[in-house]
Structure 1
Amino acid sequence: MWANAYLGGKFCAGIRTTSRCKGINSSLKKFIKSGNCLLELVENLDRFVKDYRSNEFIVDYKTLYSNPVMNTGLETKERSASKLYMREIF
């Protein structure tokens, strides 16, 4: 909540750092178990990082090589926003 005082007037396209961290943590919980030994922990973290990076590459590819779907009658504004933001955010 303290971040709202500093970021109150800033445009962030609906993304808050806390929500991003929560998303990463929930994904990380799928790979890490409390009963893992140190070697399993390292292997699972490595698998998580590879999976996370793979998803980022897929999103980047879709952003660069797909056409956005215009939903409103404000096509010029939507097209300029689609060039500015990634497809997921847009």
Structure 2
Amino acid sequence: MLLSMRLSELSKSLPRDMADELALLARLANSLEQEVEVHRLRERHRVAGAAMEASATEAFAEMIIDPEAKVLRPDFGAVRDRTAGKNRDVEG
């Protein structure tokens, strides 16, 4: 903005072509700044996304791996015969 204010003041004293060229360069500089900001934002999101994925993967791994290395088996209503190692149905 400051540059465009100065350009409007300069345009009165400079030849018209030079003022137009400076205005064009100011718009180009502004466009380049916006483009660089887009790339910076994309890089920040990529880094943040990778960090969140690593954190989620670690949290999920902790949920599924038993730290004491126990194996959990669902019984689904059957009673395990500990002596024979076989399942038998429970009758009510």
User: How high is the TM-score relative to the length of structure 2?
Assistant: 0.40
Bigger strand fraction: 2
User: How high is the TM-score relative to the length of structure 1?
Assistant: 0.41
Bigger RCO (CA 8 Å, 6+ sep):
1
Which has the greater radius of gyration? Answer: 2
